Amino acid sequence: MERRETQQAHLSVGLLLVLLLLLGTWEETQAWPASLQYDLIVVSQPEPREPLYMALGYINDQLFLHYDGESRRAELQKPWNDTEEGRKVWDMVTQDLEEMGKELRVTLQDILRQNYQSDSSDGSHTLQATLGCKLQGNNSTRGFWRFQFDGQDFLTFYPERLNWTATHPAAKRIKEKWEDWFQMKFPQVREEEYCSIRLQRYLASWKGILERIELPTEVPPGPNLLSHEPLQVELLIMSIGLIFAILVVVGAQLWRQMRAKPEIRPTRRSEQKSAHPLFPGFGNIRETQSMV
């Protein structure tokens, strides 16, 4: 059990530090992105089925990677460095995401056992991990790793201080487990010292993919209503013209009816019929009322 926890923590820290090292390398050139982020989520299912798992990767808030826990394969939304080294590193990316899924599944099951022992049919629960790093304005890097349980903040890791902060009552035991292992394994180490040959290969291949991604050089402008002004004016003119044509036709018809004169012939008063130009029979009603 202790060995499994050690391996899980090592994989988690390794993936996070890959992200930190990525932006550390990107500082050397202004062409590199400013942020890299992974969104990992597991959803519990009724036993004996294991929780569902999915992962998404973003570069500058643009989706570039999708990992499906069912197929256990990662799919790129952007071109990859299609070389032998790139394929090897891509297999390593897939393996890291798969191991992260295993760790999140175990963590979710631990949380459920600790807090939902009396009711195993409590419904589905989710554990989401958001990890990544950002390039600050002063060219420094800042990593982040946040957990959410059922949509609520659960646990946060601060790479600068190498410690965990529990923000949910159910996270206390999980936090103590990971924090104790970290302090025992790396009492005075900094995150930059985790770099290894494996991570360097990772960075080299990521450089290949990032050179192929079309990243925005400036913030796209918001919607400009003036850009649609000619179309709006044209539609307004067409609408006014259509309304005017309808009014002309209806007005001409009413005018002809009002100008029409009934044919006059000598008849008895009882046989006389008066027709209203717009309401036929209206004259007969008025004539009947006057005779009463």
Tens digits of residue pLDDT in 155-177: 888 766 667 888 888 888 888 77
Average pLDDT over residues 257-282: 46
Tens digit of pLDDT for each residue in 28-81? 443 444 677 789 999 998 878 889 999 998 877 878 788 988 888 888 766 656
Instruction: State the Cα angle at 19 between 16 and 25, rounded to 5°.
Output: 140
Rounded to a whole number, what is the largest CA-CA distance in the chain?
123
Q: Which residue has the tokens 């390039």?
A: 135
* pLDDT at residue 227, rounded to an integer: 40
249 within some domain: no
Average pLDDT over residues 195-221: 47
Residue 197 pLDDT exceeds 80: no
With a threshold of 0.75, does the pTM exceed it?
no
Range of the domain at 194: 2-212
| Mean residue pLDDT across the chain | 63
* pLDDT at residue 53, rounded to an integer: 94
* pLDDT at residue 41, rounded to an integer: 95
* pLDDT at residue 195, rounded to an integer: 34
Sheet holding 163-166, edge to edge: 73-76, 62-68, 52-59, 35-43, 126-135, 141-149, 152-158, 163-166
* pLDDT at residue 138, rounded to an integer: 65
Give the domain CATH number at 200.
3.30.500.10
169 within some domain: yes
Q: 172-185 vs 2-26: helix axis angle to the nearest 10?
A: 70
31 within some domain: yes
DSSP string, 66-116: EEETTTTEEEESS----SHHHHHHHHHHHHHHHHHHHHHHHHHHHHHHHH-
217 within some domain: no
CA 282 to CA 275: how far, in whole Å? 7
Q: 172-185 vs 84-115: helix axis angle to the nearest 10?
A: 130
* pLDDT at residue 58, rounded to an integer: 81
107 within some domain: yes
Considering only 68-77, 79-88, 140-149, 196-205, which range has the smallest mean pLDDT? 196-205
Q: Is pLDDT larger for residue 285 or for residue 101?
A: 101
* Total number of domains in the chain: 1
291 within some domain: no
Q: Which residue has the tokens 């090292």?
A: 21
* pLDDT at residue 37, rounded to an integer: 79
* pLDDT at residue 149, rounded to an integer: 92
247 within some domain: no
DSSP E strands in the chain: the ranges are 35-43, 52-59, 62-68, 73-76, 126-135, 141-149, 152-158, 163-166
CA 287 to CA 292: how far, in whole Å? 9
176 within some domain: yes
